[in-house]
Structure 1
Amino acid sequence: MSPKQQIIASWLLRRVLSRPCGIRIPRSGVAGEAVNCFVVAIDRGDEPYLIVQTLENGNLGCIQWDGQRYSIEKSFPLSSFKASDFQITHYYGLAEVRYGGLTDFMVDYHLGWPYLKIHAIQHFARFDQYLFNKKKLVAKARNDLLKILVNEALQGRTEHEPLDLMTALYSIRWYSHPEGQEVQQRLEFYLQSLTETGELRKAGHKYIVTGHALRALEEYEEQERKHTENVKMQRRTFWLAVVVAALTVVQAGLIKLPAILDFTQNVPNATKSSA
Structure 2
Amino acid sequence: MRRAIDIALRKNAPMMIPTSGDAGRRNDCYVVYLEDQEGHGRFLANELTEHGLQGKWSVDGKNFVEECSVPYTAFPEFKPLIQHYYGGWTFNSRSISSFILKHLLSYPLWRVAWDRLLQAFFNRRQLTRHDRLRVLKYVLAETVKNRNYIAHETELLTQFYTVRWVFRPDKEELMTYYRLLLDALQESGDLKQAQFGLVLDPKAINTIAQYEQEERRHGQNAATQNGIRFLTVILTLVGIAQAVAAIHESWWKK
TM-score, normalisation: structure 2? 0.76
Q: In structure 2, which of residues 13, 17, 38 is the aligned counterpart of residue 21 of structure 1?
A: 13
Is the CA contact 1:200–1:209 (under 8 Å) kept in the aligned structure 2? yes
Equivalent in the alignment of 1:98:
93
Is the CA contact 2:12–2:31 (under 8 Å) kept in the aligned structure 1? yes
1:217 deviates by: 0.4
1:174 deviates by: 1.9
1:96 deviates by: 1.8
1:260 deviates by: 5.6
- Count of residue correspondences: 244
- Whole-angstrom CA distance in 1 between matches of 2:43 and 2:168: 44
- Whole-angstrom CA distance in 2 between matches of 1:188 and 1:261: 69
Q: In structure 1, which of residues 72, 87, 91 is the aligned counterpart of residue 66 of structure 2?
A: 72
- Whole-angstrom CA distance in 2 between matches of 1:83 and 1:210: 60
Equivalent in the alignment of 1:217:
208
Is the CA contact 1:51–1:70 (under 8 Å) kept in the aligned structure 2? yes
Equivalent in the alignment of 2:245:
259
Cα distance change, pair 203–257 in 1 and its aligned pair in 2 (3 A): same
- Whole-angstrom CA distance in 2 between matches of 1:118 and 1:261: 82
* Deviation by residue 1:163-221 (Cα, 9 ceiling, x = unmatched): 11101001122223344433332222111100011111234663211211111100111
Cα distance change, pair 225–37 in 1 and its aligned pair in 2 (3 A): same
1:149 deviates by: 1.9
Cα distance change, pair 235–203 in 1 and its aligned pair in 2 (3 A): same
- Whole-angstrom CA distance in 1 between matches of 2:178 and 2:74: 58
Is the CA contact 2:158–2:165 (under 8 Å) kept in the aligned structure 1? yes
What SS does the aligned partner of 2:19 have? coil
- Whole-angstrom CA distance in 2 between matches of 1:261 and 1:176: 72
What SS does the aligned partner of 1:49 have? strand
Is the CA contact 1:38–1:88 (under 8 Å) kept in the aligned structure 2? no
Equivalent in the alignment of 1:53:
46
Is the CA contact 1:36–1:90 (under 8 Å) kept in the aligned structure 2? no
Equivalent in the alignment of 1:124:
114
CA RMSD between the two structures: 3.6
Is the CA contact 1:43–1:85 (under 8 Å) kept in the aligned structure 2? yes
Q: What code does the residue aligned with 1:213 have?
A: A
Is the CA contact 1:137–1:183 (under 8 Å) kept in the aligned structure 2? no
Q: Greater Rg, structure 1 or structure 2?
A: 1
Equivalent in the alignment of 2:129:
139
* Deviation by residue 1:215-271 (Cα, 9 ceiling, x = unmatched): 110011112222222333344456667777x69x98xxxx981236899x9xxxxxx
Q: In structure 2, which of residues 148, 152, 155 is the aligned counterpart of residue 164 of structure 1?
A: 155
What SS does the aligned partner of 2:245 have? coil
Equivalent in the alignment of 1:270:
none
* Deviation by residue 1:7-39 (Cα, 9 ceiling, x = unmatched): x94x76555434332333222332222222222
1:86 deviates by: 6.3
Percent identical:
21
Is the CA contact 2:37–2:78 (under 8 Å) kept in the aligned structure 1? no
Equivalent in the alignment of 1:5:
none
Is the CA contact 2:34–2:79 (under 8 Å) kept in the aligned structure 1? yes
Q: What code does the residue aligned with 2:134 have?
A: D
TM-score, normalisation: structure 1? 0.71
Is the CA contact 2:150–2:196 (under 8 Å) kept in the aligned structure 1? no
